[in-house]
């Protein structure tokens, strides 16, 4: 229907003087954009192909190391900016412990290793707790160990069953309620 309208319009435009064409240029451009949009929407892609476009396996997303990603996010949200980043996507391909550890002034390697052990529910020494557990790093608010092993098992099961899932996450609890019972198995 839209293509037929465009053909009729082109035929009538051919008979107009040049001055008249210039007067209706914007309307003609808008019509052609609508025709192109209609053509694109009628050419639906197979769902598997479309799903791959939004999968981390898609090469359209930039590849970053954890350190590069951290630096990029800090730059995007630097002081003086509006701190708003919408639909940011990047893929970290190397998840070895050394490649994903990003130290900061607030979280040097020792603090990161302490909080990792604490939140995984692994044993931690009292002197490490005294050294690294501080209010500036979240104090007891940063305690996410409740149900952590169950959450990890849920993510592993989800990814084994649905390798392209974007819902395989480890939920972090809210201050007033936990997250140990969240099950993403059939969340879409």
pLDDT in 10s for each residue of the chain, 188 residues: 445 565 666 666 666 666 666 677 776 677 667 767 666 665 655 566 665 666 666 777 788 889 998 898 888 888 777 777 777 788 888 888 888 999 999 999 999 999 989 888 899 999 999 999 988 887 767 677 888 888 889 999 998 998 878 778 887 765 555 555 555 555 54
Give the list of residues 6+ apart from residue 176 with CB closer than 8 angstroms, or none: none
Give the list of residues 6+ apart from residue 99 with CB closer than 8 angstroms, or none: 65, 66
Structure-token pair, residue 13: 């435009």
Supply the pTM of this predicted model.
0.56
What 3-state DSSP class applies to 138?
Answer: coil
The percent helix, strand, coil of the chain (3-state, each to 5) is: 55, 0, 45
What 3-state DSSP class applies to 7?
Answer: helix
User: Measured between alpha carbons, how far is 132 from 115 in angstroms, rounded to an integer?
Assistant: 8
Cα 155 vs. chain centroid, distance in angstroms?
Answer: 17
């Amino acid at each position: 229907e839209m293509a037929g309208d465009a053909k009729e319009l082109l035929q009538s435009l051919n008979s107009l003087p040049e001055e008249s064409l210039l007067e209706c240029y914007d309307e003609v451009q808008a019509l052609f954009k609508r025709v192109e949009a209609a053509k694109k929407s009628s050419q639906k892609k197979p769902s598997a192909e479309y799903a791959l476009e939004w999968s981390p396996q898609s090469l359209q997303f930039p590849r970053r190391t954890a350190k590069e990603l951290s630096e990029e996010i800090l730059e995007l949200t630097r002081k003086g900016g509006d701190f708003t980043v919408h639909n940011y996507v990047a893929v970290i391909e190397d998840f070895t412990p050394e490649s994903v550890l990003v130290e900061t002034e607030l979280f040097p390697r020792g603090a990161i290793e302490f909080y990792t052990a604490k939140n995984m529910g692994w044993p931690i020494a009292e002197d490490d707790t005294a050294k690294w557990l501080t209010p500036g790093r979240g104090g007891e608010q940063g305690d996410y160990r409740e149900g952590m092993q169950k959450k990890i098992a849920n993510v592993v099961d989800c990814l084994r069953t649905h390798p392209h899932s974007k819902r395989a996450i480890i939920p972090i609890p809210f201050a007033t309620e936990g997250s140990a019972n969240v099950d993403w198995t059939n969340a879409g």
